[in-house]
Structure 1
Amino acid sequence: MNRLKLVMKGQKKEMRLHYLQHVPFENPGSILIWARENGHVITHTQLYEQDTLPKQQDFDWLVVMGGPMNIYEEENYPWLADEKVFIREAIAAGKVIIGLCLGGQLIADVIGGKVTQNPCKEIGWFPVRLSEKVRSTSLFAFFPEQPVVFEWHGDTFSVLPEDAECIAENDACKHQAFIYKKRVFGFQFHLENTSAIIKDLVENCGEEMIPDAYVQTSEELLAHPEYIEQNNQWMELFLTRLEKMYREDVL
């Protein structure tokens, strides 16, 4: 693990971003681009390779990625049990945490919510409705009322504890995003996906794309580079504003 270094006067301390990856074809995408462009230290744990989890003092932010497995499949993926303990400890340590799809579901589970099968699968480009309250905050003010985002999930965080605020929904899924204790964020959708990641998802998980009301074709998923670019821009703006609040200690 990289150590936090003190830098010259007038410069910012390096921020250390660690991410947990569940399968080879789902990496943090545009989050990695943003982190590299801003000079942050990036480390990772590839859980599918049985990598060792870091110590809490060795990172500042934690990103928990998506994956095709479910949070309750510990028999098939034994590392899920250790990962849940690790996420719980990171929350207790006051880390900034971003969970994406499966990552958001894992966070919801460890804070006392419930993760169950959604009434329908949601795969493709669909609008979500952000709450007026969250769009009035500086962290989310740049989002339109109904951004079109990338979805790929069958399960969802169907029940959230009282101290977790749901900030987005749509007709297919009641809970699309939440905030917990000001610095923990769970997203059911993916703003980080690049075109390469979406192609890999289609290649590796295409059997899940059974025609349904909220399941688009692989052609539809890959036909919108403008959506990918917009989603990545929103992620960049969110991360930049989040970092500013983090450094000003206002989270």
Structure 2
Amino acid sequence: MRVAVVENTVISHLGQVGVALEEAGAEIVLYRPFRGEVLPDVTRYDGLVVLGGEQSAIDDDLHPYLPHLAARMRQAAEAGKAVLGICLGSQILARAFGGRNILGQTREFGWHRIYRTDEGRNDPVLSAVEEGFPIFQWHSDTFTLPEGAVHLARNEAVTNQAFRIGRAAYGTQFHFEASRPVVEEWNSNFGHLIEAMAPGWIDCHPALAEKDGAEADKAGLAIARAWVKQIRT
């Protein structure tokens, strides 16, 4: 099992997705196109993961690789491969299939509850979690669902929290990969950005992690394992 992972920012973490891939014995190959590296040839991989980043999904002037990454995600999805876009990755996947990216209108940070749609309750991946699970969020953008996409999850702030297109191409606006250790490292490396987005959050972090962290870690790993099961070698 070979899986290409595309990073879009300097500090990225596979987190719970990495745990599930390692459990499955996957070979993971990292790509960093934001540093000028090439994009993966998706025909050489069984799965494709695209992680988050600070840029928008249509920030083509500063990041000219973005439309090409969208095309690679669509190519992999249309070939029936397992594709996963998280946060920015989900926005790029939506773009790839004709969804509209909406910038700066849906700010969420920290652990928030997610609710599945009827389709989500019956989906091979989202059925792995309980209703109303907490999961980590860090975004300001969202997207419209592409034509033909299956709407899987929502919450009060953002209607399109998760979707599937084709056999196994998934986009999640939420960071289900972000376990408590990942969040702690984000606090250390991005404290100034977090304080600007959610003033006082870092001071409240220990109590919030105690309240929702363990349940979120469990849900994130369940989603990751269920997605990995969609990979066909």
TM-score, normalised relative to structure 2: 0.87
State how far apart, in whole Å, the 2-side matches of 1:106 and 1:245 are: 20
Q: With CA pairs under 8 Å and 6+ residues apart, which has the higher RCO, 1 or 2?
A: 2
SS across alignment from 1:141: helix
Check 1:60–1:119 CA distance in 2 against 1; reply closer, same or farther (3 A cut): same
Instruction: Pick one of 148, 152, 160 that aligns with 1:175.
Output: 160
Larger radius of gyration: 1
Check 1:216–1:18 CA distance in 2 against 1; reply closer, same or farther (3 A cut): farther
Name the amino acid aligned to 1:219.
D
State how far apart, in whole Å, the 1-side matches of 2:220 and 2:197 are: 29
Instruction: Pick one of 204, 210, 213 that aligns with 1:220.
Output: 204
Q: Identity of counterpart residues, as a percentage?
A: 25
Partner of 2:122: 136
1:28 aligns with 2:27: no
1:76 aligns with 2:62: yes
Superposed counterparts of 1:191-202, under 5 Å: 191-202=176-187
1:146 aligns with 2:129: no
- Residues 122 and 151 in structure 1, CA contact (< 8 A), matched pair in contact too: yes
Higher mean Cα deviation, 193-202 or 49-58? 193-202
Check 1:238–1:175 CA distance in 2 against 1; reply closer, same or farther (3 A cut): same
Instruction: Pick one of 199, 207, 216 that aligns with 1:231.
Output: 216
- Residues 125 and 221 in structure 1, CA contact (< 8 A), matched pair in contact too: no
Structure 1, unpaired ranges of 5+: 1-14
Name the amino acid aligned to 1:108.
A
Higher mean Cα deviation, 29-38 or 238-247? 238-247
Check 1:139–1:196 CA distance in 2 against 1; reply closer, same or farther (3 A cut): closer
Check 1:205–1:186 CA distance in 2 against 1; reply closer, same or farther (3 A cut): farther
Structure 2, unpaired ranges of 5+: none
- Residues 34 and 236 in structure 1, CA contact (< 8 A), matched pair in contact too: yes
Residue 39 of structure 1 deviates from its aligned partner by: 1.2
State how far apart, in whole Å, the 2-side matches of 1:59 and 1:225 are: 38
State how far apart, in whole Å, the 2-side matches of 1:192 and 1:232 are: 8
After superposition, what is the alpha-carbon deviation per residue over 1:178-207, rounded to whole angstroms, capped at 9, x for unaligned? Answer: 111131110000111133432343332633
Check 1:245–1:68 CA distance in 2 against 1; reply closer, same or farther (3 A cut): closer
- Residues 198 and 222 in structure 1, CA contact (< 8 A), matched pair in contact too: no
Partner of 1:62: 48
State how far apart, in whole Å, the 2-side matches of 1:48 and 1:42 are: 18
Check 1:235–1:164 CA distance in 2 against 1; reply closer, same or farther (3 A cut): same
Residue 46 of structure 1 deviates from its aligned partner by: 1.3
SS across alignment from 1:238: helix
Partner of 1:19: 5
State how far apart, in whole Å, the 1-side matches of 2:102 and 2:124 are: 32
1:86 aligns with 2:72: yes
Residue 139 of structure 1 deviates from its aligned partner by: 3.3
Check 1:160–1:68 CA distance in 2 against 1; reply closer, same or farther (3 A cut): same
- Residues 25 and 200 in structure 1, CA contact (< 8 A), matched pair in contact too: no
Partner of 1:12: none
Partner of 1:3: none
Instruction: Pick one of 16, 28, 31 that aligns with 1:42.
Output: 28
State how many pairs are aligned: 231
